[in-house]
């Protein structure tokens, strides 16, 4: 007569090391994703074959298709654009504003923003994409 043993061996998978690896991968991708694109607001800017880089401190003014305004990625109401822009350039020698405006927006919208720059003696540079 055979006596059955009550000890059955079950296969186990140790997942503690896998948890550590997944945590480090998640942390790595979170850090890298914040460093890849500093401009969060997506705008299709006009294309240009010539390029110029600016070495001074600049303020970025972004206009979206919906005519929403952002100064350095902070939303600004359309009526408050000029005072907020003047606040952003306060204390900056030779202020330069990099204007990121969609290529399919009307010319009048571009002229309205440029008029603010001319009125307040602010250098406005139009951002373009390389061909």
Per-residue pLDDT reduced to its tens digit, 89-116: 888 878 888 888 888 888 888 888 889 8
- 70 falls in which pLDDT band (50, 70, 90)? very high
Q: 74 or 5: whose pLDDT is higher? A: 74
Residue 37: inside a domain, yes or no? no
The pLDDT of residue 87 is above 60: yes
Residue 25: inside a domain, yes or no? no
Mean pLDDT computed over 46-75: 78
Per-residue pLDDT reduced to its tens digit, 3-44: 666 677 777 777 778 888 899 999 988 888 766 655 566 666
Domain assignment of residue 93, given as a range? 47-130
Cα separation, 124 vs 111, in Å, equals: 11
Residue 67: inside a domain, yes or no? yes
The pLDDT of residue 81 is above 60: yes
Residue 39: inside a domain, yes or no? no
Residue 81: inside a domain, yes or no? yes
Average pLDDT, the chain: 80
Crossing angle between the packed helical segments 107-119 and 81-89, to the nearest 10 degrees: 50
CATH number for the domain including 64?
3.30.420.270
- Where does 2-107 show beta strands of DSSP type E? 47-48, 58-63, 69-71, 74-76, 96-100
Strand order in the sheet with 74-76: 74-76, 69-71, 58-63, 96-100, 123-126
Residue 99: inside a domain, yes or no? yes
Residue 8: inside a domain, yes or no? no
The pLDDT of residue 129 is above 70: yes
Structural domains in the chain (count): 1
The pLDDT of residue 48 is above 80: no
The pLDDT of residue 128 is above 80: no
Judged by phi (left if over 0) then psi (alpha if -120 to 50, else beta), residue 95 lies in beta
76 beta partners: 69
Q: What is the pLDDT of residue 103?
A: 82
Residue 20: inside a domain, yes or no? no
């Amino acid at each position: 007569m055979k006596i059955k043993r009550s000890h059955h061996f079950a296969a186990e998978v140790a997942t503690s090391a896998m948890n550590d690896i997944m945590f480090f991968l998640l942390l790595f991708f979170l850090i890298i994703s914040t460093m890849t694109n500093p401009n969060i607001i997506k705008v299709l800017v006009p294309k240009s074959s010539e390029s110029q880089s600016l070495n001074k401190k600049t303020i970025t003014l972004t206009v979206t298709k919906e005519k929403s305004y952002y100064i350095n990625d902070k939303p600004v109401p359309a009526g408050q654009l000029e005072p907020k822009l003047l606040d952003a350039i306060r204390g900056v020698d030779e202020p330069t504003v990099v204007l990121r405006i969609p290529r399919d927006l009307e010319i009048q919208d571009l002229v309205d923003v440029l008029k603010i720059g001319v009125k307040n003696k602010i250098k406005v540079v139009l951002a373009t994409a390389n061909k």
